[in-house]
Structure 1
């Protein structure tokens, strides 16, 4: 089985990818990071069959609808969440199962943070994805979205902490950079729900937190009841339109050699090799500007920020670094030539060597 834990630094949200037999599910995807998730799916050769939200989030917008539009994946969410049933492809209840390849996740209802919280447990009970019901040494708040401290205490104690001691617990959020816990750890060390705490202790603690509401709550909750579908004419971020590009999981946009040849007239081609390489036997692309990577930071003013830039090197490694540097420097239309000049030559595309075109 393939497992990846992904992170959104803006909302401190963890997204989880599980794959088997060429199929995958994503748990708690984030709207803005859908391109990242699509890139990973492509690189791992996985077909997304479903997105699973642990609850209707109040601090970020789900990527479920956006992924459905791109992949045809079904949207799965708690039946108790009261989301738009025209958009939810699978309304989930306690005891349901979601399959991917030869593996399954079982659904456990764990309300209390919100009325529609779910925990997803892997078939061998070695992993569980707890959303905000149980965080690492903590838990989600209980003061809005039909929350209830009594209900949350019961959910965690009966549905999560009854799993095997070595079951790994993966939450929807962590604000300290901690990635995973276990049932045994949380049963013993969770200061709110572990040890000898009873429901009175827990309710007394939760009812006196007095936390401010999440900053994005008024935006996120309505959007998530629509499964992340933009309201009305709200724009959806899309792939750059100036050329056919592929986003790699590294965060770098790439352009294939033939596509660059077709769009060469409207882009700035920046070759970041050293001067001797520019005229060696591999050659360079006609019209390319030589700006060695070691000089790029000091020569940015030679490039037009309003026009797309394609970085080129021998293999695509140095130019990937150049692409990242350009993006950080304010260039909004940047791509790396996939495979560099080696791939360009392997496809028998024209080059210039020592001033002569071949």
Structure 2
């Protein structure tokens, strides 16, 4: 069985695709985004997968790839087209290559036109293809920079993508309207640039008259992506919180384990966001905790002490997870949630004040 997730970066409207083998738990990511590496790593960990490869469909001009950063954090390897001109990859791909992950594999199809190094990744059973910026949903990638060539792109789509089974699902690298997936038959029939009876000269004329502005991040993104996403200096690497061994969840919350909190209570401020009756109720509360019910937290966040990091706690961990977002919005950076809340704390026989045996 295939593990499949479609992820989205709202800043660049980029789709990142996670594919995994459910038997071996090996996985790969297609078109990761630098700023989303923490999110992607969290999802991979929560699903129990091992990231073997990051793949880029081309050298992007609108965002920096997360390939290098994920390699540092998870030990994954980097692959992209040999025609991309990028340095620092572990594998430079040629047309027809296969990238294996467990019992599954992707086939590499060279589909130049948007850039000279564009490739499409086709799943082993030809049920899915990841087209990058070659063909978009009812559109196509632009061809006016980075060795773009409208004739090459037209031929790539017609000969390499439209040759796939008509029910093959097509997943692009971007969409700016919220569309998520198409199919070969849909694009062959309805794509206004490349489908139906549109000829090569029709397409070339269309693309040469788009008059689009250059991508905003092109001057930053292209040089970085030619290094597979490695920043030009250490300041470009996002810092990880150092005050505790925190875990970042796919839901976007930093968490700290109960055993660490018990051993370091004097080094943090524990914030209990339950109601007063719960704070003094059967579960009790953690020694030294400050009570601020969740409904009052936004108004009182500015009054909280800032001398130590804050660990938020509630009954089961859901309200306190929301509390961390409220605190971060209020400008408090060193904040974490206690997963499982007081239920877990008591189940692990950790000390409390009040409560019942």
* TM-score bin, normalised by smaller chain: over 0.9
Where does residue 40 of structure 1 map in the other structure?
43
Where does residue 282 of structure 1 map in the other structure?
283
Structure 1 portions without partners, runs of 5+: none
The alpha carbon displacement at 1:300 in A equals 1.4
Tell me, in whole angstroms, the C-alpha distance in 1 between the residues paired with 2:139 and 2:269.
51
What secondary structure sits across from 2:139 in the alignment? coil
Equivalenced residue count is: 354
The alpha carbon displacement at 1:265 in A equals 2.0
Q: Is the CA contact 1:305–1:332 (under 8 Å) kept in the aligned structure 2?
A: no
Tell me, in whole angstroms, the C-alpha distance in 1 between the residues paired with 2:138 and 2:69.
32
Tell me, in whole angstroms, the C-alpha distance in 2 between the residues paired with 1:306 and 1:214.
43
What secondary structure sits across from 1:294 in the alignment? helix
Pair 1:83 & 2:118 matched: no
Where does residue 121 of structure 2 map in the other structure?
120
Alignment of 1:1-358 (within 5 A): 1-20=2-21, 21-84=24-87, 87-305=88-306, 307-353=308-354
Q: Is the CA contact 2:6–2:18 (under 8 Å) kept in the aligned structure 1?
A: yes
Tell me, in whole angstroms, the C-alpha distance in 2 between the residues paired with 1:117 and 1:225.
13
Tell me, in whole angstroms, the C-alpha distance in 2 between the residues paired with 1:7 and 1:235.
22
What secondary structure sits across from 1:143 in the alignment? coil
CA displacement, residues 317-356 of structure 1 (integer Å, 9 cap, x when unaligned): 11112122222232222111011112112222221116x9
Tell me, in whole angstroms, the C-alpha distance in 1 between the residues paired with 2:172 and 2:43.
21
Tell me, in whole angstroms, the C-alpha distance in 2 between the residues paired with 1:107 and 1:191.
26
Question: What is the root-mean-square deviation in Å for CA atoms of aligned residues?
Answer: 1.4
Tell me, in whole angstroms, the C-alpha distance in 1 between the residues paired with 2:305 and 2:11.
30
The alpha carbon displacement at 1:235 in A equals 3.2
Which aligned runs of 4 or more in structure 1 are off by greater than 4 angstroms?
none
Q: Is the CA contact 2:302–2:330 (under 8 Å) kept in the aligned structure 1?
A: no
CA displacement, residues 139-181 of structure 1 (integer Å, 9 cap, x when unaligned): 1110111110000000011011111111110000000000000
Q: Is the CA contact 1:271–1:313 (under 8 Å) kept in the aligned structure 2?
A: yes
TM-score with structure 1 setting the length: 0.96
TM-score with structure 2 setting the length: 0.96
